Amino acid sequence: MTELDLDVRWYEGTRSRPGRTGPPIQVHRAAPNTIVLRQNITDNFEAPFLYLLFGDERAFLLDTGATADPTRFPLRATVDTLIDRWLHEHPHDGYELVVAHSHAHGDHIAADGQFTGRHRTRLVGHSAEHVAAFFGIHDWPHGTARFDLGGRILELIPVPGHHPSAIAVYDEDTGILLTGDTVYPGRLYVQDFPAFQHSLRTLCDFAAGHPVAAVLGAHIEMPARPFRDFPLGSTWHPDEAPLPLAAGTLQAIRDATLLNDRPGAQRHANFIIWNGPCRRESAAQSVRLLLSRALGRGLGR
Ligand SMILES: [Zn+2]
């Protein structure tokens, strides 16, 4: 498998509203054919991670971030530059780009419009029906589909629960499992709990049969200190937990969902499950955000 470098210091943002540290999009080359991009947290507190994977025939972009405006969030220009650089080293006529999504929430699809009309580019639709049709998943959400980038096979796994059209993407070349908002070091917002339980089972079964080098989600909302989280909405993340999770975390989340299926928040060392609307927890988060801004502390209380 291709070796990965996932040891990154992501920009931590700023405690006050105006001001920015770092570029609008932080670009990290985890491997020559694997790029991790992150939207600047001061532009949008969601600070989503996006992934750009290169094969011989086509590139695959997973997610388009939280901001449509190309002057604030120049995703198309960044991706074009990265593809040009790749093609300079690996010349190929008719190289394609496929733009897919971990799921269709606004912070993962906002810059889709930057790619409309781009030459040799296919955009995957947002509904489960569109995703299933594009990749040829005939019995959604059961089964998986393989998608060939040219000498690099991706496996697409339906994982509804956070969102009806959510998918995970496994890359045979590097062993990364991209899990979107289904699994990441943060608050896992579960909209459909039985579907989420089923999807975690699917992911655990998949990981048991495939070498998973790292589980990479779409956000970080926790600090390195276990059991804590940054206040919801915070644009300042000092000392964030690392992005990669071990494959064993899938089983830990699954076990947690089997032990406790009651609505509300349940806090674990490196993930937090929010089952349902969690109104009390949301209200507490708003207070924490105000306090953290007033007191200048990253975590609030
Ligand atoms: Zn998200």
Residue 274: per-residue pLDDT: 95
Residue 68: per-residue pLDDT: 98
| Cβ–Cβ under 8 Å, residues 74 and 43 | no
Residue 19: per-residue pLDDT: 64
pLDDT band at 95, cuts 50/70/90?
A: very high
User: Look-up: residue for tokens 């990253």?
Assistant: 298
Give residue 106 CA to ligand 1 midpoint distance, Å: 8
Residue 18: per-residue pLDDT: 62
Region 257-273: mean pLDDT is 95
Q: Alpha-carbon dihedral of residues 124, 130, 134, 136, nearest 10 degrees?
A: 150
Q: Alpha-carbon dihedral of residues 292, 296, 297, 299, nearest 10 degrees?
A: 30
Give residue 107 CA to ligand 1 midpoint distance, Å: 5
d(CA 129, CA 126): 8
DSSP 239: T
Give residue 187 CA to ligand 1 midpoint distance, Å: 10
d(CA 145, CA 150): 15
**Lowest mean pLDDT across 21-30, 76-85, 161-170:** 21-30
Residue 175: per-residue pLDDT: 98
Model confidence at 246: pLDDT above 60: yes
Model confidence at 300: pLDDT above 70: no
Model confidence at 269: pLDDT above 90: yes
pLDDT band at 292, cuts 50/70/90?
A: confident
d(CA 13, CA 262): 34
Q: Which two tokens stand for residue 102?
A: 């971990």
**Lowest mean pLDDT across 123-127, 173-177, 233-237, 290-294:** 290-294
CA distances (Å), origin 203, targets 1, 101, 217: 20, 18, 13
Give residue 48 CA to ligand 1 midpoint distance, Å: 6
Give residue 181 CA to ligand 1 midpoint distance, Å: 5
Q: What is the mean pLDDT of the chain?
A: 95
What is the end-to-end Cα distance of the chain in Å, rounded?
43
* 97-126 confidence digits (pLDDT tens): 999 999 999 999 999 999 999 999 999 999
Region 254-270: mean pLDDT is 95
CATH architecture group of domain 25-295: 4-Layer Sandwich (3.60)
Give residue 46 CA to ligand 1 midpoint distance, Å: 7
Region 137-152: mean pLDDT is 97
Residue 34: per-residue pLDDT: 98
pLDDT band at 301, cuts 50/70/90?
A: very low
Give residue 221 CA to ligand 1 midpoint distance, Å: 11
Q: Which two tokens stand for residue 98?
A: 């496929």
Model confidence at 280: pLDDT above 90: no
State percent of the chain over pLDDT 90: 89
